[in-house]
Structure 1
């Protein structure tokens, strides 16, 4: 165990710094600050996604900027993803020269960040803390259990991911998720949401691994030492946040 921790010191230090920063922003609990924080992450994530999709579309920053500005005032930010999709389609139909790959960053990661912002708007900062605990628990549990006892490969997309690691991550995430569940939700509801969101985060990580393999790159970026890029660190949250919002709306 000591060897694992020592070899992963940079990753752990960066992870701790990220958690402290996120907890500080959560403690302040300001919509403007959260909107600004997610917006900053989105800009970097779009830049990284263009590398993964092998695109260079400068206009996407203008469209996304207008979209994110509107999300500050609109009560249901995730709805705006359909508005911008209609605008993209209309411009494509009218000009016939819009790169169709512009839709890809719209779906991932832009839509996911809109869902995260909506999760905060509807269920408060504690829902984001819950999501943080679940995804971090799944990631940490899978990493240490996988490194310590993983033997069976989970899938071809991510050869380093093992069934034992995934199972350990789901268990960790569910246990910790129950303790950090938001108010007014039953224990059964907390277990179900924690488990399903953790599973979604696993496939969020898997999807980003697939994109990196398609683009033939090791990381989406290098802004986070030991973790790579923003997409490398947020991939689980981008899938998990969508599922958590949907499940909370269904259960509560």
Structure 2
């Protein structure tokens, strides 16, 4: 089962949802063999609340809504809720959690350190999977990394950094963490440039909460295989060109 663990649907932080583009993006995901798209929009994006409310609440794209933050489209593609949080002191965290949990997070950029964000999730008894996003990028190392890494579930092998796969894997091994991979896509072209293989039936039940628990379980067991597209550099260039010219 293939998961793209890091997907954006808003082209910029100032964008509103383009529903025609979003619908096409999900069609492409299915054609690329992706089973689950983890929506990790920037929490400080202006269109965040509108996007999540209409996908998961108003079912703008149809589908079956599972309790807790998962929707299954008519194509069979599963969309799970999450968010990417820009941290105070540098870096970003991917949080996979219920729609309510991610919408309850404060939206201004750099509100939290990693420690404060995870403390808030635990204080509110929210189920979550925490992923350290693209740590090796410029300015992306967390200021409190050594203090908080024990609470983090996985380290991302970033689809944006295809030449650093072994460095990310080495970092995960050093801290005894699982690896996951996501595309960090802001366009349909980039979908799946990084993706994660998980056991075929990892869900514990038919609910969004079961998705979070099941995802956390396979991560904790290190039953995840990060994969980077063999032509990642070319795909990233095409995606960047499309984004600059069309979005």
**TM-score, normalisation: structure 1:** 0.29
The structure that is strand-richer by fraction is 2
Higher gyration radius (CA):
1
